[in-house]
Structure 1
Amino acid sequence: MNDLSSSLTPPPAGTLKSALIVPVEALRAGMYVADLDCGWAATPFLLHGLLLDDPEDIGTMALLAQRVTIDPGRSLPAALTGLDQATLYDTTGNVAASGTPGDQRLQQYRDQVQRNDGDHASRADRLALGWREWKQALSAWLGRLFSSAGTRPLPAAQRPDYMPDDIVLVVHPLPEPTQTALPQAIAACELAETALERVARDLAAHRDTDIAALQAASETLAENMIRRPGTMIWAAKMRDKSNRMYHHGLGVAIYLTALGRQLGFQREQLADLATVGLLLDLGKMEIDHALLDKPGRLDDIELLEMQTHVHRGIEMLMATGVTSTLILRAIAEHHERVDGTGYPARLPGAALTIFGKMAAIADAYAAMVNPRPYAPAFAPYEAMKQLFAESESRWFAPLVEQFVQAIGIFPVGSLVELSTGEVAIVVQHNPYRRLEPLILILTDAGKMTLPAPRELDMLKHNFNVAPDVLRISTGLADGAHGIVMQDFYLRQA
């Protein structure tokens, strides 16, 4: 690696700054990011400092932040080319010339750190990572040992300013490992979808509807979301997708309760959110199937007919005895938009409940990541980018940010392509490095299915082989390369 003095001409008596704020659009490979305007806690990155070399990391920062702080001294020289030289150097105070032996030794040290670490932390940071991992595992074990509820009140300082005062927030325990939790998660999904199907059949036959059974299933779903949120997302993919309404309702219920869990809602509210998700499209039962299955764009008359499903669903639920204002309003608002362009009432964001804003995000995401008659499925990463692109105009931006934290840019159960060309399923998130999860590798670099899937912990793997690390190159839509998710049920163990 060349010394900075070989590619840059510093002022005669200046040293490289340790911090320079730049717009996120200016980020490029080789820059060392020291801080973000959204804070590290709002990102999937563990370590407070990152040398960029992966377009995926740059794209993630572009989604989450507007301005970042880079450390020019820890950045690669080529990454600084084109930046205003006057902003890169500190020429104030009594500083030594950049050509002094002290400066040269400092730059040599920085170069050595970059060569040894690649895009990972220094040795000290890695040791700290292992220490924090051990402490968090111990803390989680003690929490399970001494607290049957597993929750504690959320500190007032961490309470979002947009949260209604009457909502009590808590901190939920760490999720259970995917390998041990998947059977319970699949059972909870089956119970919820079966209850929804039974309600729909009873309504269609004009029979008395046992809405209490569905609410009981919602409570089971909420309890499972508290314990194993990522696993529930994967479990939902195992369900039969032949009936889009049931599958969509289950998906919205899971994404909605995942967002509620991220925000710190208590179990009872999570159960209500699950009920909202399951029932929000019930009114489509009264819409002509030919219209629901139309592959092309709807005309104005068809669009108005489709939009009636919201009012129809509310009327059906009220007739079955659903009286919860929270549930009914959230369903009524799940197609409203914060800019007032939604339907059926064109309500602006200030008039919407937080549950309605949450339901709108979860419903849109669930629709995008599944095939529709008029559009193919998005990869989860592409769906997240779409949500971010329409933040402030369609969705409540702070909730979109929380949704990303709840679901992950590459959710558990999603397909990803690795930097090697191999295709894998994300099995379990790493709580420290969301971009280095536990994965199940399904294909070789040529996309040929392996005789036996191979499990790999990317964080541990990359720690051992750095700087020749493995990366997620991109997210893939379900069914990409002919992969059927159900074929890998319980084969991740």
Structure 2
Amino acid sequence: MELLEQEIDSADLHVGMYVCRLDRDWNGTPFPLQGVLIRTREDIDEIGRYARRVWVDLEKSTGPAVFHLHALAPKARVKTKTKIGAESELGTQATLFDDEILISARLLDQLSERTTDFLGKLRRGELVSQAEIDEVVEPVVRSLIRNPDAYFWLESLRSRHHYTYTHAVNCCALAAAFGRHLGFDDKEVKALATGALLLDIGMGAVPPDMINHEGPLDDVGRAFVERHVSEGVERLRQSGLDDPAIIDMVLNHHEHFDGSGYPEQKMDGSIPLPGRIAGLVDAYDAMTSERPYRPALSRAEALQQLVKQRNGQRDADLVEQFVRCLGVYPVGTLVELNTGEVGLVMSQNPSQRLRPRVMMLTNPTKQLRAHFIPVNLMDTEAQPALAKVHIARSLPPGSYGLDPAALDL
């Protein structure tokens, strides 16, 4: 039977969590019952006065609190491969955030033309060389190995007007970062990144009005859209791109763990791991992208949706690892602090997932600052006042009229 209690630090409590045990007896505390549902920030502060460690009942906890509990899980249930060292087979070493920003900025400037060119060729049924694909994939993989936060920070500041291009490149980067997190070697990470880049090359066979259709499609429309999977695999093979991992990703990225996907309604372990990874990164980036028929979700909200799909459409253990990879508040997430200020998440603090580095965009009254200020919420020793500051919630893109792509960041 799966354990239904999770031990966490009292400072990591969120509204909606149900505390069922303390690291001390309930006697002598102001709580009359042995168990309390956290309803306000004051409840969290009160428990923190009496206990440092608490146990939370997963079944009785509600709302986004369940998402936070999964992100704070003490250890993963998925077996990952042995991590590769600071220097990879590609000769790539980790870099500091500020140093990688300069490298990634040049990389992103070059990606658009290269990616649009060869994706267009594949959709038209023309041959592309491995060298053309490597020109896109290898620089992205190297950047993600050096410092993933820097890449995703810059990506969050870019306009997403061209969905076909941005979705392909974003999936490529997400798959590379996730593969690296899982401990895949450089060759495997490159294959994951390549497969993710090419997930939707079969969409060239689908009429544009069906791709952007508002509301449910009829049977004919669904059949057209679902055909992009087999069409994509065929175009890969015609181009000589027959790496099994790449084929698995394109073929299986719309299969669901509960058998509700397509084209073959595969279930559980019958979906290869590369295909399950592809399904996660594809769904996550699609949810965080604005489409003609719906607004974009925030990155944190998209992760919450994936967590809700665990043991249904998604592999629960893989979802947990994906949350660990991106962080509770992924880079590029607009967040509102308990002070009223609004910021944009810049980078993660793996040891304290709820306290990332944030670029402060507004003052407490939501007025845009004259000068944006980077703040590391974990740096409470240098700035003791930060101990009382925490992220209150994530915000949908465009909240309070804030568009990171339009700001001079």
State the TM-score, normalizing by the size of structure 2. 0.81
Residue 465 of structure 1 and its aligned partner are, at CA, apart by 3.3
Residue 218 of structure 1 and its aligned partner are, at CA, apart by 1.0
**2:347 matched to which residue of 1?**
428
Query: Does residue 81 of structure 2 align to residue 81 of structure 1?
Result: no
**1:50 matched to which residue of 2?**
10
**1:254 matched to which residue of 2?**
173
Query: Does residue 309 of structure 2 align to residue 309 of structure 1?
Result: no
Residue 215 of structure 1 and its aligned partner are, at CA, apart by 2.5
**2:83 matched to which residue of 1?**
170
Seen in structure 2, the aligned counterparts of structure 1 residues 119 and 374 have a Cα distance that, compared at 3 Å, is: farther
**1:227 matched to which residue of 2?**
146
Residue 479 of structure 1 and its aligned partner are, at CA, apart by 2.4
Equivalences for residues 195-234 of structure 1 within 5 A: 195-204=114-123, 207-234=126-153
Instruction: Report the Cα distance in structure 1 between the residues aligned to 2:357 and 2:105, rounded to whole angstroms.
Output: 20
Seen in structure 2, the aligned counterparts of structure 1 residues 465 and 293 have a Cα distance that, compared at 3 Å, is: same
Q: Are 1:253 and 1:273, in contact at CA under 8 Å, matched by a contact in 2?
A: yes
Query: Does residue 31 of structure 2 align to residue 71 of structure 1?
Result: no
Matching residue's letter, 1:402? Q
Residue 488 of structure 1 and its aligned partner are, at CA, apart by 4.2
Residue 77 of structure 1 and its aligned partner are, at CA, apart by 2.4
Query: Does residue 146 of structure 2 align to residue 194 of structure 1?
Result: no
Instruction: Report the Cα distance in structure 1 between the residues aligned to 2:23 and 2:382, rounded to whole angstroms.
Output: 23
Q: Are 2:9 and 2:52, in contact at CA under 8 Å, matched by a contact in 1?
A: no
Query: Does residue 197 of structure 2 align to residue 278 of structure 1?
Result: yes
Instruction: Report the Cα distance in structure 2 between the residues aligned to 1:488 and 1:76, rounded to whole angstroms.
Output: 52
Query: Does residue 377 of structure 2 align to residue 453 of structure 1?
Result: no
Residue 237 of structure 1 and its aligned partner are, at CA, apart by 2.4
| 3-state SS of 2:372 partner | strand
| 3-state SS of 1:439 partner | strand
2:261 to 324, 334, 342: 342
Q: Are 2:380 and 2:387, in contact at CA under 8 Å, matched by a contact in 1?
A: no
Seen in structure 2, the aligned counterparts of structure 1 residues 74 and 415 have a Cα distance that, compared at 3 Å, is: farther
Instruction: Report the Cα distance in structure 1 between the residues aligned to 2:365 and 2:12, rounded to whole angstroms.
Output: 27
Computed over aligned residues only, the root mean square deviation of the Cα atoms, in angstroms, reads 3.2
1:393 to 306, 312, 317: 312
Residue 291 of structure 1 and its aligned partner are, at CA, apart by 1.5
Residue 52 of structure 1 and its aligned partner are, at CA, apart by 5.4
Residue 286 of structure 1 and its aligned partner are, at CA, apart by 2.1
| 3-state SS of 1:424 partner | strand
Instruction: Report the Cα distance in structure 2 between the residues aligned to 1:467 and 1:216, rounded to whole angstroms.
Output: 43
Instruction: Report the Cα distance in structure 2 between the residues aligned to 1:53 and 1:208, rounded to whole angstroms.
Output: 54
Matching residue's letter, 1:400? V
Residue 294 of structure 1 and its aligned partner are, at CA, apart by 1.9
1:470 to 389, 397, 406: 389
**Deviation larger for 231-240 or 364-373:** 231-240
Task: Please give the per-residue CA displacement for 1:359-412, whole angstroms capped at 9, x wherever unaligned.
Answer: 111111111111122222112222111111111111111111110010011111
Query: Does residue 156 of structure 2 align to residue 237 of structure 1?
Result: yes
Identity level (%): 26
Q: Are 1:192 and 1:214, in contact at CA under 8 Å, matched by a contact in 2?
A: no
Seen in structure 2, the aligned counterparts of structure 1 residues 169 and 379 have a Cα distance that, compared at 3 Å, is: same
Seen in structure 2, the aligned counterparts of structure 1 residues 114 and 315 have a Cα distance that, compared at 3 Å, is: closer
Q: Are 1:365 and 1:384, in contact at CA under 8 Å, matched by a contact in 2?
A: yes
Instruction: Report the Cα distance in structure 2 between the residues aligned to 1:430 and 1:175, rounded to whole angstroms.
Output: 16
Equivalences for residues 13-28 of structure 1 within 5 A: 23=4
**Deviation larger for 351-360 or 293-302:** 293-302
Matching residue's letter, 1:326? A
| 3-state SS of 2:388 partner | coil
2:208 to 278, 283, 289: 289
Instruction: Report the Cα distance in structure 2 between the residues aligned to 1:75 and 1:273, rounded to whole angstroms.
Output: 54
Instruction: Report the Cα distance in structure 2 between the residues aligned to 1:180 and 1:355, rounded to whole angstroms.
Output: 31
Task: Please give the per-residue CA displacement for 1:121-177, whole angstroms capped at 9, x wherever unaligned.
Answer: xxxxxxxxxxxxxxxxxxxxxxxxxxxxxxxxxxxxx997666xxxx6324549533
Residue 188 of structure 1 and its aligned partner are, at CA, apart by 3.2
Q: Are 1:437 and 1:459, in contact at CA under 8 Å, matched by a contact in 2?
A: yes
Seen in structure 2, the aligned counterparts of structure 1 residues 114 and 202 have a Cα distance that, compared at 3 Å, is: closer
Task: Please give the per-residue CA displacement for 1:211-256, whole angstroms capped at 9, x wherever unaligned.
Answer: 4211242122111111111222222223342221111111111221
**Deviation larger for 222-231 or 205-214:** 205-214
Task: Please give the per-residue CA displacement for 1:187-217, whole angstroms capped at 9, x wherever unaligned.
Answer: 3344444332111232355544234211242
Instruction: Report the Cα distance in structure 2 between the residues aligned to 1:175 and 1:470, rounded to whole angstroms.
Output: 30
**1:129 matched to which residue of 2?**
none
**Deviation larger for 369-378 or 209-218:** 209-218
Residue 324 of structure 1 and its aligned partner are, at CA, apart by 0.7
Residue 340 of structure 1 and its aligned partner are, at CA, apart by 1.2
| 3-state SS of 1:308 partner | helix
Matching residue's letter, 2:391? I
Q: Are 1:23 and 1:68, in contact at CA under 8 Å, matched by a contact in 2?
A: no
Seen in structure 2, the aligned counterparts of structure 1 residues 203 and 385 have a Cα distance that, compared at 3 Å, is: closer
> What 5-or-longer segments of structure 2 have no aligned partner?
37-44, 54-74, 87-92
